[in-house]
Amino acid sequence: MIPRILEPEVMDTPEEANDYDAMDHSAVNRVFAADFLSAFPAFENPVLDVGTGTAQIPIELCRQTRVIRLVAIDLADEMLAIARRNVDRAGLVDRIEIQKVNGRDLGYPDGSFGSVVSNSIIHHIPNPIDCFREMVRVCRPGGALFIRDLLRPDSRAELDQLVNLHAAGANPHQRALFANSLQAALTVDEVRALAGELGFAPDAVRQTTDRHWTFCATNHG
C-alpha cells in the first residue's frame, strides 16, 4: 500500500480553482447526485454540501430534483468565487446558498440540516475524523449522510493507471492534481475505522468505483 501524502488543505489559487472547474466532472457528478437520490428518495432539506468547490454537485442535484434546497460551503475563496458565478449562471441562486465555512469546524448548531453530502473533501483533511464528526453533528437524527471521496490505490503503478484512464485528456497540471488527490485519499479500511469511531457499522462504507469509496448511512443521532 502506498503511503498517504497530504495535499494542501485549501486549494485557493486562481490556477487551481480554474483548472478544477474546467475538468470534466460531469459524469461523476451525475452519478453522485443519482446515487444520493436513489439511497435517500425522501431526503430532508436543507441539504449541506461540505467542500463544494465550484458548486458542481449542488447544481447537478438541482437538475435532478426540483425540491432540493442546499447550503454549499468551502474554505477556498477562489473556488467560492467560481461557485457563485456557476450558481448564478445556472439560475439557482434561490436554491443554493454559498457560504465560506471550515469543514472541520462547521459552526452550525447541532441538527441544523436534514441531509449532509460531500464529494472529494475528506482527502484534503489531515485528520479526517474531525470533518466526519462535524458532518454527523450538524445532521438531524434520522437524516441522510452521503459522503464520497477518492480511494488510495495499492501501488504507484495502479495510481498511474487510474490517472491515464480518467485524466487522459487533461493538461499536465490537472493530471498532477488528480494524482496528488489519489495519493492523499484514504482506503476503505481507514474510512471504516473512522466510521466505527462514530458508531456506524463497517458496511456503511463501500468501494463504489475503481477510484471511489462511499459512506452512506442514516444518522443515528
Rounded Cα distance between 147 and 47, Å, is 13
Exposure string over 157-186, b if 16+ CB within 10 A, otherwise e: eebeebbeebbeebeeebbebbbbbbbbbb
CATH code of the domain occupying 14-218 = 3.40.50.150
For residue 89, the surrounding DSSP H or E stretch is helix 77-89
Q: Which three cell numbers stand for residue 113?
A: 440540516
Say which residue, 16 or 150, is predicted with more confidence: 150
Q: What is the pLDDT of residue 21?
A: 67
| Residue positions counted in the chain | 221
186 DSSP 8-state letter: B
Which residues, in sequence order, are bridge partners of residue 118? 50, 147
Q: Which three cell numbers stand for residue 155?
A: 501501488
Task: Give the closest residue to 133 by CA, choosing from 147, 119, 120.
Answer: 147
CB-based contact 100:110 (threshold 8 Å): no
Cβ atoms within 10 Å, residue 135: 25
Residue 128, preceding peptide bond in cis (omega within 30° of 0)? no
How sure is the predictor about 173, in pLDDT bands with cuts at 50, 70 and 90? confident
Q: What is the pLDDT of residue 31?
A: 97
Say which residue, 11 or 64, is predicted with more confidence: 64
**3-class secondary-structure state, position 143:** strand
Q: Which three cell numbers stand for residue 165?
A: 484512464
Q: What is the pLDDT of residue 23?
A: 67
pLDDT for 36-75, tens place per residue? 999 999 999 999 999 999 999 999 999 999 999 999 999 9
